[in-house]
A and B are shown apart, each in its own frame.
Chain A
């Protein structure tokens, strides 16, 4: 793990890496470096994009995008150290300008994750081939997973005034 840390620190500047526990590495990077670090890790053998997630940090007025990559098991009879490791890449984007670039060119399975984040957080992934709703049936004024989406008020407006059926 430490070898990898050194290698990454050699290759990239303005990067913050810490290793909170064994086999887990957290990389904080500015939003311009995401593509390059993902392709660097893919070339280093971490070929599996496990997840893309998003956190709405409303107090800091930023979204945090989280990419988790890991390595596939290559051989049945012996472990490579790499195969136990998870690498978490975090980046921040502004809440005002909700635009980011897609990583489909590197990891093809990013497509549904990016669609989901587009739908629930409203982040527009530039270059995504079909950025349209995935789960939700109806359109919302504001993407429903944002912290300033008032769920109670929405539920009251939407479902609160549906009348009971009278008569039988």
Chain B
């Protein structure tokens, strides 16, 4: 560990802790989940970056959405995201959460995920290779360093807009608002 890193650890331990300990909820939608098992096991070993799968959303701080988002999964995604403790980071994986991808004209698949929950980073591709996940993780480190990964603050500040968008596609949601 070099000196700069040590100084950073002493100055901002919370930020550094969040950087190097990303416990991920892998939201298994669509084809992206095929890329996850090699990523977390022997072949690519995500644990050396501090990325491990978390058993429940309460223990996690990284939300990886791996594939297209249908309306039914959108509901679960919102619930899962709201259960995670702050600070939390979201990464959309593959082109489907970015703009709908090949599901552009689908009656049941939302197009832009970032209109319903905040997304800190995207991994483009159909499908991205597991290496792309690590590039995303290192980018996320830079963003956390520069305070750019502030999706959870955005969610808090603009909760009315997010909730309105969610209710527009899902009808009435059967849980109370997270923030008043």
Q: Which residues of A contact B (CB under 8 A)?
A: 135-138, 140, 144, 149, 151-152, 154-155, 158-159, 162-168
Contacts and interface: CB of A to CB of B under 8 A. Distances in A.
B59 to A, nearest CB: 27
Contact of A135 (B72, B104, B115, B150): B72
20 contacts: A136-B71, A136-B72, A137-B74, A138-B171, A144-B107, A155-B105, A155-B107, A159-B169, A162-B112, A163-B161, A164-B115, A165-B115, A165-B118, A165-B154, A165-B165, A167-B154, A167-B157, A167-B158, A168-B157, A168-B158
Nearest to B110: A159
B154 A168 contact: yes
A162 B165 contact: yes
B150 A168 contact: yes
A163 B115 contact: yes
Shortest Cβ-Cβ A-B pairs, 9 listed = A137-B71, A137-B72, A144-B107, A168-B154, A165-B161, A159-B111, A162-B115, A165-B158, A151-B107
A167 B154 CA distance: 8
Contacts of B108: 136-137, 144
B3 interface: no
Chain A's interface: helix, strand, loop or mixed, by majority? loop
B169 A165 contact: no
B47 interface: no
Interface residues of B, number: 28
Contacts of A164: 115
Contacts, number: 61
Contacts of B114: 165
B70 interface: yes
A136 B105 CA distance: 16
Given A165-B162, A166-B158, 18 more contacts: A135-B72, A136-B71, A136-B72, A136-B108, A137-B70, A137-B71, A138-B171, A149-B107, A151-B106, A155-B105, A159-B169, A162-B115, A163-B165, A165-B118, A165-B161, A166-B161, A167-B161, A168-B153
A162 B168 contact: yes
Contacts of B153: 168
Q: Identify which of A137, A144, A167 gathers the most chain B CB atoms within 10 Å of its CB.
A: A137
Nearest to B116: A162
A105 to B, nearest CB: 31
Contacts of A138: 71, 169-171
B75 interface: yes
Nearest to B115: A162
B154 A162 contact: no
Interface in B103-158: 104-108, 110-112, 114-115, 118, 150, 153-154, 157-158
Contacts of A167: 154, 157-158, 161
A113 to B, nearest CB: 19
Contacts of B171: 138
B80 to A, nearest CB: 16
A116 B68 CA distance: 21
B73 to A, nearest CB: 9
Contacts of B75: 137
A19 B153 CA distance: 65
